[in-house]
Amino acid sequence: MQTFDFTTLTAVCSDIRAHWLPSRVEQVYQRNSYTIAVALRTLKQRGWLEISWHPQAARLHIGEPPPRTPDTFTFSQQLVHQLGSLALVGLEAIAPWERVVDLQFARRPGESALYHLYVEIMGKYSNVILTDANNSIITVAHQVKQQQSSVRPILTGQPYETPPSLTAATPSLSESQERWQERVSLVPGAIKRQLLKTHRGVSPSLIQSMLMVSEINPESSTQTLKLDDWQRLFDHWQEWLQKVESEKFEPGWTQEGYTVVGWGVHKSAKDIQELLNRYYTDQLNQQIFSQLRHQLSQKLNNLLEKLRVKAATFKQRLQQSEKADEYRQNADLLMAHLHEWQVGMTEIVIPDFETSEPVKIALQPDKNAVQNAQNLYKQHQKLKRARIAVEPLLAEVNAEIEYLEQVEAAISQIENYNTAEDLQALEEIREELIQQRYFEDSEYRRRSPTEAASINFYHYRTPSGFEVLIGRNNRQNDQLSFRVANDYDLWFHAQEIPGSHVLLRLEAGRVPEEADLQYVANLTAYYSRGRQSEQVPVVYTQPKYVYKPKGAKPGIAIYKQERIIWGQPQSLVLNPKS
């Protein structure tokens, strides 16, 4: 993930000062353990200032509105208590070339600041600290105790001390090329590392783009660079410093991430705030997506493995219970031939009633014939009772396996993170498993009705232009089948294979062509566990013939009046509109 460096911080602060100062604080919301959002209102606009002390993504920029879920963090509540209804009147760096800014809050513009919110963007040491006008710490995002740092403890009630100054040289436009080159090449080494070591305010991404635009290999040694190389590099060094000093930046997307100085841009960005918000949101969502998908997959694998073992045990017991009639028949035979029994016998051979074939019956030598027959009758009754008890248990386990395989299929369809909807679909699956008591989560918070109404189906168009909706998970499947579908639509599902519910939207009087049905069948097969097959049986029917059994788990449906069409998932080249 690209570092939110000094240049980016300078560009963001410049934009905030130009468009968001002064502004009134209306609300503070803490998104998670590392990020707060401050609602700001100016005379022209309202927005959310996002402040994060995340170890890999500490940052400051205008972001998106927070979700409509309760905020249970104490840090944000303390900020609301102190800063509510005040005005953000200033945004200043605490020292040149430091990634620490001071957000100043007063009753109204022109008055002295009552509170200071220091945002320290320093990698894993990042922090956000609120102080009063005398710089006494009121609250802090992450307290640092004396045992954790004897150099700079950060505790409420203590005076705020700025971070230790960096030891590297301060970049300057007045520095000559000779002095700059001498400083960088004093200790031989790769040029990218020497630039990072010798000067403040630079970052790996900045150096990388600077060397790229200067046409210099980042691994080149300072000893091998030619005069022309040094000249080009110094020119771009000066260009960077001029942009920082004049606060004239050129934000844009690069192949590796983003830039605010205009080097290596393949797509320009009109708004630096939107650029940064999108980049860091996507990067963090990608991390969360990967972790959550792995967590869900592991959990389901473990659950299914245990359930399959349990089902195999039940099946084995049922197979054993099939011998119940054999025990009863042997007992009947033995009772009919009591006269053939002799003391001490361990087995007896008796002709079968119907076939007259010899039947060998094991006996307990310490019991007489009647007692042995009674034992056989008892075994018959025991196995008969076992069958009655085990059959519903096996049915219950099989239903649970079917449900979890459906969830597993939904997760397998969401392979990579492309949009926020992909992460939302996984979070909905996690929420569903928590509701079904497969997951325990102390941080679980139920979605509000407004938030729950946001559904992001996959969207496609058939050759004739009909809309196709596909559920991403069980929650969306239920929504699609039992709320969205109307009488004119057609409902599709892979036959007896876990997969998504698919809806072909039709208007009154419109009839789909054969090509439309085949296309939807191909989609249905693709969004099922049969994705890798050449052909998959797909059923389709009208939504009015699709039912949810009473008490059934999410995503489970039964249907009738169905027709079958063979889907061909391998024939698809997909570009979903979702």
Decide if domain 177-270 falls under CATH 1.10.8.50: yes
pLDDT class of 575 with cuts at 50, 70, 90: low
Per-residue tokens: 492? 């599709």
Per-residue tokens: 252? 């844009």
Beta strands in 283-441, from DSSP E residues, in sequence order? 347-351, 358-362
Burial of 318 (0-12, 13-18, 19+ CB in 10 A): middle
Burial of 15 (0-12, 13-18, 19+ CB in 10 A): buried
Q: Where are the domains of the chain?
A: 6-140, 177-270, 455-571
Q: For residue 296, what are the CA distances in angstroms to 59, 358, 425? A: 29, 58, 12
Arithmetic mean of pLDDT, 540-564 = 93
Percent of the chain whose pLDDT exceeds 90: 74
Dihedral sign, CA of 509, 515, 517, 522? negative
Tell me 89's DSSP state: E
pLDDT of residue 453: 44
| pLDDT tens track for 494-529 | 999 999 999 999 998 889 999 999 999 999 999 999
pLDDT of residue 361: 87
Cβ count within 10 A of residue 341: 16
Q: What does the DSSP assignment read for 230-248?
A: HHHHHHHHHHHHHHHHHT-
| pLDDT tens track for 144-156 | 988 888 788 999 9
Cβ count within 10 A of residue 28: 25
Arithmetic mean of pLDDT, 118-129 = 95
Going by C-alpha positions, the residue among 546, 529, 545 that lies closest to residue 537 is 529
pLDDT of residue 576: 53
pLDDT of residue 445: 46
pLDDT of residue 390: 85
Burial of 201 (0-12, 13-18, 19+ CB in 10 A): buried
pLDDT of residue 441: 65
Going by C-alpha positions, the residue among 421, 396, 393 that lies closest to residue 553 is 396
pLDDT of residue 339: 85
SS (H, E, C) 497-508: CCECCEEECCCC
Angle, helix 6-19 to helix 272-321, in steps of 10 degrees: 110
Report yes or no: 451 and 474 within 8 Å, Cβ to Cβ.
Answer: no
Peptide bond into 22 cis (omega under 30): yes
- Residue 16, classed as helix, strand or coil, is helix
pLDDT of residue 491: 97
What torsion do the CA atoms of 505, 507, 511, 515 make, to the nearest 10 degrees?
Answer: -30
Per-residue pLDDT at 451 exceeds 90: no
Cβ count within 10 A of residue 324: 18
| pLDDT tens track for 335-382 | 988 888 888 898 888 888 888 889 888 898 999 989 988 988 888 888
Cβ count within 10 A of residue 316: 11
Arithmetic mean of pLDDT, 402-426 = 92
pLDDT of residue 442: 52
121-130, 343-352, 440-449 — which is least confidently predicted? 440-449
| pLDDT tens track for 46-95 | 999 999 999 999 999 999 999 888 999 999 999 999 999 999 999 999 99
The Cα 432–Cα 572 span in angstroms is 30
Which H/E stretch holds residue 249? none
Overall CATH class of domain 6-140: mainly beta
Return the higher-pLDDT residue of 445 and 115: 115
- Residue 22, classed as helix, strand or coil, is coil
Per-residue pLDDT at 450 exceeds 60: no
| pLDDT tens track for 240-261 | 999 999 999 999 999 989 999 9
Going by C-alpha positions, the residue among 338, 340, 359, 363 that lies closest to residue 350 is 359
Arithmetic mean of pLDDT, 311-327 = 81
pLDDT averaged over the chain?
91
Burial of 404 (0-12, 13-18, 19+ CB in 10 A): buried
Arithmetic mean of pLDDT, 389-397 = 89
CA angle 476, 477, 481 (to 5 degrees): 115
Report yes or no: 483 and 511 within 8 Å, Cβ to Cβ.
Answer: no
| pLDDT tens track for 455-493 | 789 999 999 999 999 999 999 999 999 999 999 999 999
Per-residue tokens: 473? 């998970």
Per-residue pLDDT at 112 exceeds 70: yes
The Cα 455–Cα 435 span in angstroms is 18
Per-residue tokens: 512? 């789909």
| pLDDT tens track for 83-100 | 999 999 999 999 999 999
Per-residue pLDDT at 401 exceeds 50: yes
pLDDT of residue 454: 56
Per-residue pLDDT at 446 exceeds 50: no
Going by C-alpha positions, the residue among 140, 180, 176 that lies closest to residue 161 is 140
Per-residue pLDDT at 117 exceeds 70: yes
